[in-house]
Structure 1
Amino acid sequence: MKKTGLLILAAVMVLGLSACSGSNETNQSQTEAVTKAEPSVVTVKTLNGDKKEVDLEVPFDPKRVAVMDMAALDILDQLGLEERVVGASDTSLDYLEKYMEKEQVAALGTIKEADMEAVMASEPDVIFIGGRLAKSYDALSEIAPVVYLSINTQLGTLESVRKNAGIIASIFGLEEQADQLLEGFEERLAALAGFSTDKTAIVGMVTSGGFNVLGNDGRCSLISREAGFENIGVDAEIDTSTHGNEASFEFVVEKEPDYVFVLDRDAAVGTEGAKLAQEIMENELIMGTEAYRNGNLIYLSNPAVWYTAEGGIRALDQMIGDLEFALLK
């Protein structure tokens, strides 16, 4: 009888220890689950209405997104977040036109002028804008947190896209996917930079029948800063970040660049009745240059992308592709 009693006591003690162990494991699992739980908000770096970088708190993994910047819409689209978009600005870009055709996506005006009532009615959790809507930052912030991203020409187009894609991805917990989407771009730019070694260029934009030269501080800076051409068209101290500085065709003749790159702004924005860049550029003076005779007058094939969507992943692919087609074919 004593032996049997001891055996029963030992069994009870074993069961008690097992129960405690199971309880501890359950508590540990619950603690880990709490630790791994998704946050309700995330803090990101963004610009404010004064174009200064600030910390902004936004909802994590927002379900309703309003987008009034084509670069941001491009990145969201590439991240597979199409169904989150409840409103978007008008665009004619073929790879983003589907958003204009979806009934559940509200029309929010243009990338320069927001339809505030439409934005409010779309009830977004977060709003994305670009530089053209900086003036509306405060008003839009009354509706929802505003993520305002741009290209930093000092950082470079590719690294700016990488940074901005990372910021957007972090809002949705998709950082790894963003990194994968940008694989291969660095090597493509390195190939272009190898081609352009010791070559000079003027980078310009045709608008309203005139020719404006562009510097390294704004549109098309990819050509000089990362594709490697020496831009001899402008003084480094002159601000050319918006539409460049008007120049004469004699100026191009005087500078004698190896290459002339041309962005057709009127084609980019669909200016009715405007002459094509080719009609304006191929005049007696330009046709007498070495650049023209050598076939080095390059019209950027996707002007709307260069002018309205610089900063997107798909846009970057097309911009590099324009240069590859013209130079490495």
Structure 2
Amino acid sequence: MKKIASLALALALSLGLAACSSGSGGSTAPESTTPVEDTQLTGTVPTSVTITSLNGAKESVELEVPYDPQRIATLDMACLDILDALGVGDRVVGTASTSLEYLQDYINDDIANLGTIKEADLEAVMACEPDVIFIGGRLASSYDALSEIAPVVYLSTDTEIGVVESVRQNAVTIASMFGLEEEVDALMADFDSRIAALSEFADGKTAIVGMCTSGSFNVLGNDGRCSIIGREIGFENIGVDADLETSTHGNEASFEFIVDKAPDYIFVMDRDAAIATEGAKLAQEIMENELVMGTDAYKNGHIVYLAHPAVWYTAEGGITALDVMLSDLESELLG
């Protein structure tokens, strides 16, 4: 703790000295909060903008952040995904570790390793001197500590409005920090039509959506992971009672439960594969037992193993992630 405090003091002093030496004659310029749209009239570029994000208590707040930040730290894969899609990934100076293939360009010796999406290395974050820090829900408890280093942009997926609309809104929020709002429509262009095609297929069909973890099968509702299957695509999720909270790891279910519910489809995410749990059983080994193999879903080839579980589990909310998730469903249902 003493080491972190010392680093914080050193960083504060260095920032203070940098501010005092900026501009001609060593004078400091006042910060501007001019809205981005006003710059079209005035010809000036703002030094900061105000966005809406979440705080450590997961409450919506107005947050002032630097405009066009040059040094970005991100501990959330969905935000890194969006930054990459917007073409500002070259500003990333530090990121959490990830095995996601499409983000491997950010895992190298030139970009600081800031820990994981669940546990930030505060000293490493401080050392990379970011202008802004991006986090996801797993680091909500670290919000205040990270905010001592730089403004913290905490964005999430809102199941009430759906994954696609959440991605769109979060992309617009991030884009507004760089004056790139017009780029978002092109990036999101085909998602609605792809959802519509999957929805047409899902119409009138029932499903159980679940996650294999530690040798068990946990059912998921429409309030968290994989909610796109029930909420936006429209399968009737009969796996759980609507009043049960299942947003984190779902509720463990017996295989007799699956037999009793008799869904048309069973969607399975392999959590252990997503986080590379050593020695864990594969989802297929867990699911293909005597009880499940007696169901119509199995006999009809309607057990869908989500092909990219790490994307579904660790990166939902990104633009490339959404493309991968829809492709996983399209290849099994429409292919």
TM score, norm. by length of structure 1: 0.89
Instruction: Give yes or no for the alignment of 1:140 onto 2:146.
Output: yes
Tell me which amino acid in the other structure corresponds to 1:73: L
Instruction: Give yes or no for the alignment of 1:249 onto 2:255.
Output: yes
Residue matched to 2:291: 285
Deviating runs (4+, > 4 A) in structure 1? none
1:34 is displaced (CA, Å) by: 7.6
Structure 2 CA distance for aligned equivalents of residues 190 and 62 of structure 1: 37
Residues 111-260 of structure 1 mapped to structure 2, 5 A cutoff: 111-260=117-266
Structure 1 CA distance for aligned equivalents of residues 173 and 132 of structure 2: 13
Instruction: Give yes or no for the alignment of 1:90 onto 2:90.
Output: no
Structure 1 CA distance for aligned equivalents of residues 281 and 243 of structure 2: 31
Tell me which amino acid in the other structure corresponds to 1:232: I
Structure 2 CA distance for aligned equivalents of residues 147 and 306 of structure 1: 22
1:106 is displaced (CA, Å) by: 0.3
Structure 2 CA distance for aligned equivalents of residues 314 and 95 of structure 1: 8
**Percent of aligned positions that are identical:** 68
Instruction: Give yes or no for the alignment of 1:313 onto 2:327.
Output: no
Structure 2 CA distance for aligned equivalents of residues 219 and 94 of structure 1: 21
Larger radius of gyration: 1
What residue ranges of structure 2 are gaps of 5+ in the alignment?
Answer: 1-38
Backbone CA RMSD of aligned residues: 0.9
Residue matched to 2:87: 80
Structure 2 CA distance for aligned equivalents of residues 60 and 105 of structure 1: 22
Residues 1-20 of structure 1 mapped to structure 2, 5 A cutoff: none
**1:42–1:33 distance in 2 versus 1, CA, 3 Å:** closer
Structure 1 CA distance for aligned equivalents of residues 286 and 54 of structure 2: 38
Residue matched to 1:35: 42
1:97 is displaced (CA, Å) by: 1.2
1:161 is displaced (CA, Å) by: 0.2
Residue matched to 2:64: 57
Structure 2 CA distance for aligned equivalents of residues 73 and 318 of structure 1: 15
Instruction: Give yes or no for the alignment of 1:47 onto 2:54.
Output: yes
1:240 is displaced (CA, Å) by: 0.2
Structure 2 CA distance for aligned equivalents of residues 192 and 100 of structure 1: 34
Tell me which amino acid in the other structure corresponds to 1:152: D
Structure 2 CA distance for aligned equivalents of residues 34 and 323 of structure 1: 46
Residue matched to 2:269: 263
1:104 is displaced (CA, Å) by: 2.2
Q: Secondary structure at the match of 1:242?
A: coil
Residue matched to 1:22: none
1:264 is displaced (CA, Å) by: 0.1
Tell me which amino acid in the other structure corresponds to 1:213: V
Q: Secondary structure at the match of 2:120?
A: coil
The total of aligned residue pairs comes to 297
TM score, norm. by length of structure 2: 0.88
Contact 1:209 1:280 in 2 (8 A): yes
Deviations for 1:239-271, whole angstroms, at most 9, x for unmatched residues? 000000000000000000000000000000000
Deviations for 1:160-189, whole angstroms, at most 9, x for unmatched residues? 000000000000110011221000100000
Contact 1:166 1:179 in 2 (8 A): no
1:36 is displaced (CA, Å) by: 2.0
What residue ranges of structure 1 are gaps of 5+ in the alignment?
Answer: 1-31
Tell me which amino acid in the other structure corresponds to 1:260: I
Structure 2 CA distance for aligned equivalents of residues 273 and 77 of structure 1: 33
Structure 1 CA distance for aligned equivalents of residues 41 and 287 of structure 2: 64
